[in-house]
Chains A and B, each alone.
Chain A
Amino acid sequence: MRMTIMTLLLMVFVSALLVVDSRHQSRKIFVELQVLEKKRDAMHEEWGRLQLEQGTWATPSRIEEMASNKLEMISPQANTIKLVRY
């Protein structure tokens, strides 16, 4: 009887400690998750920024302007186009 009570008490004590430990572990992992999520969000943001930047550089009006002014390209007239059939 006494033994049983002692064992049970011991088990209660141990499980209490385990609760504390698992609580601590879960917080630690959650904090780690937060760090990783923050990292993911930062990368996501950068990806968005880069997409925007690329979008801005690749605006059709900018390409058109560069092609005609900087590279001195022109759209060919219909009579100068040779169609190659194969």
Chain B
Amino acid sequence: MGDVHTYRVRRWAVLTVFAVLAVVLILRAYDLQLVDKEFLQDHGNARFLRVVEVPAHRGVIMDRNHEPLAISTPVSSVWAVPRKLNQARHRWSALAKLLEMKPAQIEKLVEHRLNREFIYLRRHVEPGLAEKIMALKIPGVALERESRRYYPAAEVTSHVVGFTNVDDVGQEGLELSFNDLLRGTPGAKRVIKDGYGRIVENVESISAPNSGKDLVLSIDRRIQYLAYRELKSAVQKHKARGGSIVILEARTGEILAMVNQPSYNPNNRSGLKSDFYRNRAVTDSFEPGSTMKPFTVAAGLENGAYKPTTKIDTRPGYFKIGRHTVRDARDYGLIDVATVIRKSSNVGASKIALSLDPEEMWGLYRKLGFGQVPGAGFPGEVAGRLNDHREWGEIEQATMSFGYGLSTTSLQLAHAYQVLATDGLQLPLRIQHSSEVPRGKRIISAEHARQIRSMLASVVEEGTGKLAQTPGYSVAGKTGTVHKSATGGYAEDRYLALFAGIAPTTSPQLVVVVMIDEPSTDEYYGGQVAAPIFSRVMSDALRLLNVLPDQAEQHLTAVQQSPTVPGVE
């Protein structure tokens, strides 16, 4: 029986041990399942659950006819987890070959970033190559979908539209100034990823992506193109340093075209100097020269002291203000105000200016937009220079009347001429297309604006701007040949050739400013260099816009027809 007793003790001992073990297990299970649950679950999830970004589309930039000017296309970027890639060294040569890199370059990329989770191997690869890379199935290498901006009109619209960087952030032009509108907000979602970093399952959406808004510009791609073509060929022909053309729609103040030389291709910017990126039409100011005279005359007419027929004595072709002499090309004699414009007389303009109060003249110039940032929506718009009238002396007032001593950009000059085109009403400059026409602000009286337009028409008919004549249409415009300022004075042999004009004179549709910087062949007058460009751009643009020729009787053969003509609306 002693045996039985011994066994009983042993049995209890064993059972107790088991019981204790069981309790320990239960306690451990309780611990894991209930006490440490959150911590453990988090860590478990962290092994395979990931929050990834859902990319949002960047808005399209279109011209007024909804032709795309900037559009995003999807591309893939190859990225890797350095630690995993490091363990797959034997596959590097194959990978490097596809990426067009040397294995040593991969080594360099990976080496210093071993504790990082993410490195880009190459960004923006084409879809075919991306597929080949993924087919290698190298651990830690994965693709990310990104988008790349493409600009179909390339260098024709590059200064206006600008471009984005590799991260889809606007860098220049409207891509920069409208970045917040164009940019979408990316969403986020939770996914399950496998060991290769590939998405196995989408679990839930955290936030939905918001696509960027589209931007419809006032630019007309066709007119932009023809302006670009004419500007480029003229700059080449005259071996000029650069140039700009700005075209405004007179009725609405919308910018129809804005081109510059030199330009660049935004789709391939490697090896370009930032000098090329400048949108000269808004960032570069120059002295407007004779193109300023219509506004001097406007100040005279507004004052009431002058009428288009008022006689001004410009004899003997020059006159002295202190130590300075204002000169005309020759002695025009006793001429009326209209002839001052037609002949572009500096003496005449100066005499009108000097009879006016500086504040009055300054006020009109300022209202016309000189010396003020135009605010059309481009980055880097400059105000130009217009000194305060209290700083004007007689000589300043005289030289300003023919466009020296103040400066303007091509866009500002076009804006000022737009006032003449709309019978004295100023419309805000706009780059975004809108069907609403804003209310104009009266700057000069309608009668005076029309009188100045007819003076400007005579410039083109029989004055310095004959080469600006456009078959079928009446044109009003003014030439300008400006000595460029150099250190300590004005350069004798460096010029700016200008032409600013409006057509048709009777019911203005377009305002065009042509600026050619330093034409270096024999021709350098605004009337020789800029006026012919104006004529070609204007005639093509008016035809494109279906503007009825108003001078058909003179230049075209008009035919009277019965009211119903098939095919003609």
Contacts and interface: CB of A to CB of B under 8 A. Distances in A.
Interface of A: 26-27, 30-31, 33-34, 41, 44-45, 48-49, 51-52, 55-56, 58-61, 78-79, 81-86
B226 A78 contact: no
B562 A85 contact: no
Nearest to A26: B204
A49 B555 contact: no
Contact of A30 (B60, B205, B226): B205
10 contacts: A27-B204, A30-B205, A41-B74, A48-B72, A52-B150, A59-B152, A59-B225, A60-B222, A83-B558, A85-B559
A12 B247 CA distance: 74
Interface class of chain A by DSSP: helix
Contact of B152 (A45, A55, A86): A55
A48 B565 contact: no
Contacts of A58: 67
Contacts of B564: 86
Contacts of B229: 61
Interface string B460-490: 0000000000011000000000000000000
B290 to A, nearest CB: 28
B417 to A, nearest CB: 25
Given A78-B556, A83-B558, A86-B562, A51 B225 contact: no
A48 B73 contact: yes
A60 B221 contact: yes
Contacts of B555: 78-79
A30 B204 contact: yes
Interface of B: 57, 60, 67-68, 71-74, 150, 152-153, 201-205, 221-222, 225-226, 229, 471-472, 549, 552, 555-565, 568
Contacts of A48: 60, 71-73
A51 B71 contact: yes
B202 A52 contact: no
Contact of A78 (B57, B153, B471): B471
A52 B565 contact: no
A84 B568 contact: yes
A24 B71 CA distance: 39
B71 A84 contact: no
**Which of A59, A60, A82, A84 is most buried by chain B, counting CB atoms within 10 A of its CB?**
A60
B559 A81 contact: no
A23 B255 CA distance: 55
Given A60-B225, A84-B559, 16 more contacts: A30-B202, A30-B204, A48-B60, A51-B60, A52-B71, A52-B73, A78-B471, A78-B556, A81-B556, A83-B472, A83-B549, A83-B557, A83-B559, A84-B565, A85-B558, A86-B564
Nearest to B145: A41
Interface centre among B549, B552, B564 (most CB of A within 10 A): B552
B201 A61 contact: no
A80 B146 CA distance: 55
Given A44-B57, A52-B71, A55-B68, A83 B202 contact: no
A60 B230 CA distance: 13
Contact of B203 (A30, A82, A85): A30
Given A60-B222, A83-B552, A49 B73 contact: yes
Contacts of B57: 44
B565 A31 contact: no
B186 to A, nearest CB: 13
